[in-house]
Structure 1
Amino acid sequence: MDSGQDKPTAGDAGLRSAVVVNPVKVADLDEFRRTVDGALTAAGWPAPTWYETTVEDPGRGQTEQAVRAGAEVVFACGGDGTVRACVTALAGTDVALAVLPLGTGNLLAANLGLSNDLAAGLEIAVERGRRRLDVGVVGDQCFAVMAGMGFDAQMLDSTSETTKARIGWPAYVVGAAKHLRDRPMRVSIRIDDQPPLRRRARSVLVANVGRLQGGVRLLTDAEPDDGWLDVAVLTPRTLGHWLAMGWALMRHRGSVPRMEVFKGRKVAITSNRAQPRQLDGDLIEPGRSLKAEIKPESLWLCVPRPAQHPDLSVDAEAAAERGERLVEEARRE
């Protein structure tokens, strides 16, 4: 896709939109729909078309249907699986993605600074801040934030939905604690055409953006539109190593011990045994390998302004305040 193409606009008229929602994540779908419809109407947009995800199709088919029907913006309303399905369907199109996070630990939402803020997500869309992002491709699926193999996916697999619903993203810490002493995997990592790296690693992450659940910035140099994937190889072996890594991440400065970082456009990871794997915080089938490549500037994403700042979450708090006024106006009508 031509990275120099102008971003999609529609003059002063409101954009045609669609909402792809996971109904399981919404306590009151009717009320949620009234709020979204009302806010978009108050902003001068036509009423969106609504699509519900299913177990069989978590959002990709619905999003493709919305694109065929002429949507210019698709709102992804759900957890990591819903958002990733929408990303996969929208990559390579001129249709923009807006995130209305309903899950507990949505990775793309964390990188936008949105948390579970419906008002901010709506405001960011109607203000039309747009940024064209790279996406990573694994097989026939895409990811916007990061793919991973090993400990990170084990953590997700061990975190219960009940605990997430009760305490939010810190539930992942509980899941992580169960695997701190697991044995490492032996991996071969080939980046582009370089000779393979061989490591005893706990996790290998292939990232387009650098934040984890809870807003923790793992990769400070990862930029979402630089045409590169950042590859993080984590090699802690003791509890002390894990604590040192955590302390370095909490301080937000300096290098992170027991972590190597590389850059590449194609990455192939092969383990000595099958490992849990994840894309954007959503578990996929375990396997011995994970192959990813970058698809540069292929996704239009609705972002807080200023749109070109390296940190996608800049202005999120101010957008949330503006969004609250928009939602209140819609509720008065």
Structure 2
Amino acid sequence: MEGCSFLRRYLPGRTTLLRAAVILNPVKVPEDFQSIVDVALTKHDFTNTLWLETAEDDPGISMAKRAIEETVDLVVVAGGDGTVRVVCAELAGTAIPIAVLPVGTGNLLARNLDISLDLEIALVEVLGGTERRIDSVQVEGDELGTDRFVVMAGLGLDAAIIADAPDELKKRVGWAAYIVSTLKNLNHPFVTVEITIDDRRPFTRRARTAVIGNVGTLQANIPLLPDARPDDDLIDLVVLAPRRLTHWPRLVLSLVAKSVQEGRHIERFTGRTIRLRTPTPVRRQLDGDEIPEGTTLTASVDPAALVVRVP
């Protein structure tokens, strides 16, 4: 579906000034955020900007819907990975471009789109850059309903690390708080996972964690899913299954050093639809947000559903 604003931006001889909506999490942005962004938008011919703050009981759903109703030419989203996920879910299929600003802890979508983690540099890059279509991922599961993600969804250890990273520590040290949580959870119990990829026969693995990704790079540029691309019409799955604590150092080293063979504790798969099922409820996450425990996650790629601004 091509929105009116998408067409208006490319009409020859257009005299209409551009309008942006800025959806921000007020807890995440710096004090001078609005003035910095307003100056940058003005330089790129945006006027009468719509400023929309998320709330504790609404991480961006109604704000994104308001932006769509106003037929803005651009949506700027500034918040954590959860805010970015919610806004991108609402904008999927609208053709309204999204500019992601890195003000959260993980900033995983920005990292994977090669957007600078410096706010002012990122503004220059996304406002002066180009548009790129990327995939969105539809996800379903028990206790979840239907939702979307743009980065990664996972269960087991992956979700435990996210849930157990203290908020206060994240405020002080940023993404390094996840390292503390990882060390705390290294002995997370195994999860028995039945995996179904597209129409292939299901198979079972005992794993510490299983992660489905639309993109592949974590904080510190760790390539958890090195072949994942946000615009390849596919999603990727990694299954991590170190048997003992002593297996973790080699596993981690194999993720960051291409010269080290990965070994039998890592498996990777690719498909258009990936279904994970466990015999008992386990911890789960979507784009860094913990969701209710459950037994299923089914992810299906929605090709080229999002338009994003990139350097």
State the TM-score, normalized to the length of structure 1: 0.84
Q: For residue 143 of structure 2, what is the aligned residue in structure 1?
A: none
Deviation at 1:295, TM superposition (A): 0.5
Does 1:161 find its partner at 2:162? no
Q: 11, 20, 24: which one pairs with 1:21? A: 24
CA displacement, residues 273-308 of structure 1 (integer Å, 9 cap, x when unaligned): 21111111122111111111110110001111xxxx
Q: 2:249 aligns to what?
A: 243
Residues 40 and 253 (structure 1), Cα distance of their counterparts in 2 relative to 1, 3 Å cut: farther
Pick closer, same or farther for the CA change 1:256–1:120 going to 2, 3 Å: farther
Does 1:58 pair with 2:64? no
Aligned partners of 1:111 and 1:215 also within 8 Å? no
SS at match of 1:20: strand
What whole-Å deviation, never above 9, does each CA across 1:21-56 have from its counterpart, x for those lacking one? 11111342xx21111111111222224210011111
Task: Kindly provide the amino acid, as one letter, of the partner of residue 266 in structure 1.
Answer: T
CA contact (8 A) 1:7 1:130 kept: no
1:86 is displaced (CA, Å) by 0.7
What is the Cα deviation at residue 7 of structure 1?
A: 9.0
Give CA-to-partner distance per residue, 1:187-215, whole Å, 9 cap, x none.
10111111111010111111111111222
Aligned letter for 1:236? P
User: Distance in 2 between the 1:114 and 1:211 partners?
Assistant: 13
Secondary structure, counterpart of 2:27 in structure 1: helix
Name whichever of 76-85 and 274-283 sits farther off: 274-283
Q: Is the 8 A contact 2:116 2:122 kept in 1?
A: no
Could you tell me the TM-score, scaled by structure 2's length? 0.90
Residue 285 (structure 1) aligned to one of 276, 281, 292: 292
Q: Which runs of 5+ in 2 are unaligned?
A: 141-145
Deviation at 1:182, TM superposition (A): 2.1
State how far apart, in whole Å, the 2-side matches of 1:299 and 1:253 are. 35
Q: Which amino acid aligns with 1:262?
A: F
- Does 1:215 find its partner at 2:218? no
The 1-side partners of 2:260 and 2:66 are apart by 46
The CA deviation string for residues 77-100 of structure 1, in whole angstroms up to 9 with x for no partner, is 100111001110111111011111
Describe the superposition over 1:153-192 as per-residue Cα deviations: whole angstroms up to 9, x where unpaired.
Answer: 1000110111112122121110011111122011101111
Distance 1:72 1:260 in 2: 42
- 1:96 counterpart = 2:79: no
Are residues 1:82 and 2:90 paired?
Answer: no
Which among 269, 282, 288 is matched to residue 275 of structure 1?
282
Q: For residues 300-326 of structure 1, what are the alpha-carbon distances to aligned partners after superposition, in whole Å with 9 as ceiling and x for unaligned?
A: 01111xxxxxxxxxxxxxxxxxxxxxx
For the residue of structure 2 that corresponds to 1:209, the secondary structure is coil
In the alignment, which residue of structure 2 is the partner of 1:313?
none
Matched, 1:203 2:209: yes
Cα deviation digits, residues 220-276 of structure 1 (max 9, x gap):
211111111111111112122211111112214565331111111111111122111
Counterpart amino acid of 2:81?
D
Asked if the contact 2:115/2:310 (under 8 Å) is kept, the reply is no
Could you tell me how far 1:8 is from its partner in structure 2? 8.1
Taking the aligned partners of 1:34 and 1:263, their CA distance within structure 2 comes to 43
CA contact (8 A) 2:154 2:209 kept: yes
Aligned partners of 1:156 and 1:175 also within 8 Å: yes
| 1:194 matched residue in structure 2 | 200
Letter in 1 for 2:52: Y
CA contact (8 A) 1:180 1:239 kept: yes
Q: Secondary structure at the match of 1:54?
A: coil
> 1: CA distance between counterparts of 2:117 and 2:170?
13
Amino acid at match of 1:223: R
Paired-residue identity, %: 41
Distance in 2 (CA, whole Å) between partners of 1:106 and 1:89 is 19
- The answer (yes or no) to whether the contact 1:37–1:47 under 8 Å persists in 2 is no
Cα distance in 1, alignment partners of residues 208 and 8 from structure 2: 42
Q: Does 1:172 align with 2:173?
A: no
